Each structure stands twice: as C-alpha cells, then as structure tokens.
Amino acid sequence: MSHPMMCTTTMPNMESAKKMAQELVENRFAACVQLMPINSIYRWKGKIEDENEVLLICKAPSYHHEALEKAILERHPYELPEILFFNGVGAFAPYFEWMENCVTNKEV
C-alpha cells in the first residue's frame, strides 16, 4: 500500500531550485515541489558553514522514492546533496489520487 511522501533537498539559489523543481514535475518524478528560501548552518569538511539556500519540498507517492532520489542525484550540483524522505500516514483521498495521477502519466 502506498502512502504520501515528502522529500526535501536544498539548492544553492532560487534559479537552480526552480530549474530542479520544473524538471522533477515535468518528468513526473514529483507531483508538486514547493520552494522556500532558508539559511543553513552545517559542518562541512571541518568548517562550520553559514549559507543561504533554497529548500525544495517534493511530494510524491512513497513507492516513487527511488525514481525521485535518482532524478535529484542526476541533477544536483552539490557533492553531497541532502535527500531526506518523510512518509506520511495518510492524506486527503482526492489529493493523494491527484498526486498518484501526476507521477503515473495519467492526465490531471
């Protein structure tokens, strides 16, 4: 049984984030991608980094996670991209049906 899923990743700027989001939706890896400017503080190669980034929240059915992960990795500029999956326990049924239709090549 499939569940709704959200996947997060970050991009270095809004231009690259919009390009990634557009490609993920156009190619049916995600039903929807939301973009939010954020500030990230993290440890990388022995230093504390403080960077402006754009958070992408990708929505798809849970059975689609491998395809979504592969698509993100193929397009991502970072050496080690954040790709985190969060499985939902449920969704408004008509919304979840729309989500499934978006990634399975059915007209929406």
Q: How confident is the model over 45-94, as pLDDT tens digits?
A: 999 999 999 999 999 999 999 999 999 999 999 999 999 999 988 889 99
DSSP-derived letter for residue 35 is: E
Tokens of 19: 């390009």
**Do residues 103 and 29 lie in contact, with contact meaning Cβ atoms separated by under 8 Å?**
yes
**Mean pLDDT on 27-40:** 97
- Look at residue 94 and tell me if it is in a domain: yes
- Look at residue 83 and tell me if it is in a domain: yes
Q: Which CATH number is 27's domain given?
A: 3.30.70.120
Range(s) of the domain holding residue 77: 4-103
Q: What is the band of 1 on the pLDDT scale with cuts at 50, 70, 90?
A: low
CA neighbor of 72 nearest in space, from 39, 23, 35, 13: 23
- Look at residue 108 and tell me if it is in a domain: no
